Structure 1
């Protein structure tokens, strides 16, 4: 048997000579060999660290030969962690007892005194069995966790397109950074395509065969932060009725995308920094650290340098997440891309709503001159709305950027109104706030007296 640097074994026997002999033999082949002379230590040891194989004596009471104690503790171990392989040991073994042990969940049955090669072979087989069960368990947990979050993307056809110099620079940076495992920070106003950029990086990376797991940090309450990122154990809190795998563990081997990172509270930033630095997480209510291998991509519409200066964001966390920074330009800084994007969405929504519309050159020019405070997201929603409302063969852009010219202007005091429709006025106020705060949803919401949730509902409602 070759030496391995992996594996943790636990030997449980009330005979100190057995403990010494087994440890001396096995420590040459496994990274860690623990011993205890009482089975009452098993629960704490299993909870404190990841144990792969337990060698368990079947009889602890003086003169006991039935093996009932061994079966009792075997069931306890299986209940604690079914991925642990248990080797039962006894000096009073027979065929019937061995068969019963295997049926009860033991990996194997070893008679004492053992032959060294026999014991090494049995432990090696049990260790391989334990690793297989751990992989199957992880796969099942990841499948369950993924099923809970597969609402990502929502099927919205926001296009990652661009022919302008600004976007060509973005594409070049993505191409260079994607092949590395460097942490990436994507910055830009709301609606510029930060999530699409993360997907493009992942698809071009060496981790593309694994999952890209996304999480909107702006939508997380403080109570849910640790559970969503690190997972939780059953009973960790009132509503924790089952174990839940966290996003870090779901993204193991792949990419973790954390959007709206600038909204994190300082105490949450500390926890995130520790997970990134240590490459380990501990589920809420658990005490075993889990190793994670992820590529981290973060995004924000906040100016994190200013946030650091103001004491709202940790500088050490900023250093960790922005090995490479990709700034997405707002649509008003890449007007050359507006015709490309407008025609893309026109074709997409024309197919979706089974109509064929064209864009006149004059109307396309009007779209290009508009500032689009909601950026590509606003443009996509605006084209969809216009496709639905247009009549005839041409896209009616009056549904997008202008107010009909024949409306009467009502003057009251020093303010002019062309309508008293509250919905129209609200939409204009939301647009104006977004423009004023350069697409920063949090600041715009605060200025409008809205919660972030209420603000996002209005963005969705008005296609911004």
Structure 2
């Protein structure tokens, strides 16, 4: 019977109509050769590939060799056995090997209860023997659609996980172990595990976004997305569309639905950078969304629930934020449950050498340059400079120096710092003394130390110029700098 069935199959394969779902592959597992041949004769007209398997122990190999859109699995593989236990065993193994597998059980009329039990264990559906062709095709068509949906959902989940991981990581670490930065790290460590809103204050280039990413990375939301929005770059007219989303036709040019950033960040962290730039009337709308934890896209009447942790940042000084004509105080209270202030680089000059060395290594690798170090003159120059652009400006200066430096070491000339830059004020360093004390304290060594410091800062820690001003050789100046810990 099997041979005659196979001959019929060969004839159908030659003259039959093309398969409707030509990209779908079906696996049929049954120990009855007649069932296998009948299944292939029927299914080949509707699906692209039909693979037969008459021994269940061959299933793992079949699954390893191919991906199947649906699997037809018999419940019993031993003569006289009607318990369905073997079907349960192989169903379990299939789902362990491929959790997205869609399995349709084959059972006799009397085994319907057993097949229903199999569905409780992960089977998608069942068909009974003898089957009705239309029922088989309809069941398998639905099964292949389910497999497509499962595969797409799995792909999207993995893609989202990869995007979430990529969004939460950055090549720029939050560097510095000065007392000022130790306070920042302490605040991050304590605030990160909570869902409290955090307001990060600091000048441009201090690393406010790095603080936000560190908060996300150490939170229970770290596996979810980190969504950053630069409100300084969002025009007032697009603010609601950008944050809340819109429906097709909501306004001129809205030719399709758009998901807002608040919904896109659902489950994760939303970083609102430069929040001080939002006009007052839009601050009110943002406040309503944060209080209600719901967002209504433009052109829709249906609110969408959101679950996001908000971290906001601004370079607006705290004193201005407290001005009600500039910033709504109720929104400020909502945003600054925890407040972290990132110090400017000039207030933590002791961190500058480590930051500079980090970026020298980073850019040396990026531009395939040999690893470089700094001359003492260069280190003195970068520590003396006031860095109005903070870490961002330092990073750019180091990048330029790595590119332009021709020697094994980076000298002050490679940094191209302004020759007439304002030095760091003496009061900002531990060796500084008030001017009144300079007049009153005539101790020779302390006076010498102050003169050396003054000369260095006057010339931006340019050793050659400072030594000339003091009437010393470079070597003599280096000895005094070492003596006084400069």
CA displacement at 1:385 relative to structure 2: 0.5
Which residue, out of 254, 259, 274, partners 1:260? 274
Tell me, yes or no, if structure 1 residue 357 matches structure 2 residue 372. Answer: yes
The 3 A distance-change label for structure 1 pair 241 and 139 is: farther
Tell me, yes or no, if structure 1 residue 192 matches structure 2 residue 241. Answer: no
Which residue, out of 294, 309, 330, partners 1:316? 330
The 3 A distance-change label for structure 1 pair 167 and 150 is: closer
With normalisation by structure 1, the TM-score equals: 0.55
**Secondary structure in 1 aligned to 2:249?**
coil
Q: How does 1:44-443 map to 2 (within 5 A)?
A: 157-309=171-323, 311-353=325-367, 354-400=369-415, 402=417
Q: Relative CO higher for 1 or 2, CA cutoff 8 Å, sep ≥ 6? A: 1
**Secondary structure in 1 aligned to 2:272?**
strand
CA displacement at 1:383 relative to structure 2: 0.1
The 3 A distance-change label for structure 1 pair 356 and 275 is: same
Give the paired residue count.
283
Structure 1 gaps, min length 5: 1-94, 106-128, 406-464
Distance 1:244 1:285 in 2: 11
Distance 1:141 1:215 in 2: 23
The 3 A distance-change label for structure 1 pair 156 and 291 is: closer
Q: 2:65 maps to what in 1?
A: none
**Secondary structure in 1 aligned to 2:282?**
helix
CA displacement at 1:274 relative to structure 2: 0.5
Distance 1:196 1:241 in 2: 36
Distance 1:260 1:282 in 2: 23
CA displacement at 1:152 relative to structure 2: 7.1
Distance 2:261 2:238 in 1: 12
Distance 1:262 1:141 in 2: 35
Residue 167 of structure 2 contacts residue 225 of structure 2 at CA under 8 Å; is this kept in 1?
no
With normalisation by structure 2, the TM-score equals: 0.52
Structure 2 gaps, min length 5: 1-131, 421-486
Which structure has the greater CA radius of gyration? 2
Distance 2:159 2:304 in 1: 18
Distance 2:366 2:343 in 1: 29
Residue 190 of structure 1 contacts residue 375 of structure 1 at CA under 8 Å; is this kept in 2?
yes
**Secondary structure in 2 aligned to 1:170?**
helix
Residue 197 of structure 2 contacts residue 311 of structure 2 at CA under 8 Å; is this kept in 1?
yes
Distance 2:294 2:237 in 1: 20
**Secondary structure in 1 aligned to 2:373?**
coil
**Per-residue deviation, residues 245-285 of structure 1 (Å, max 9, x unmatched):** 11111111111110000000111101100110000001111
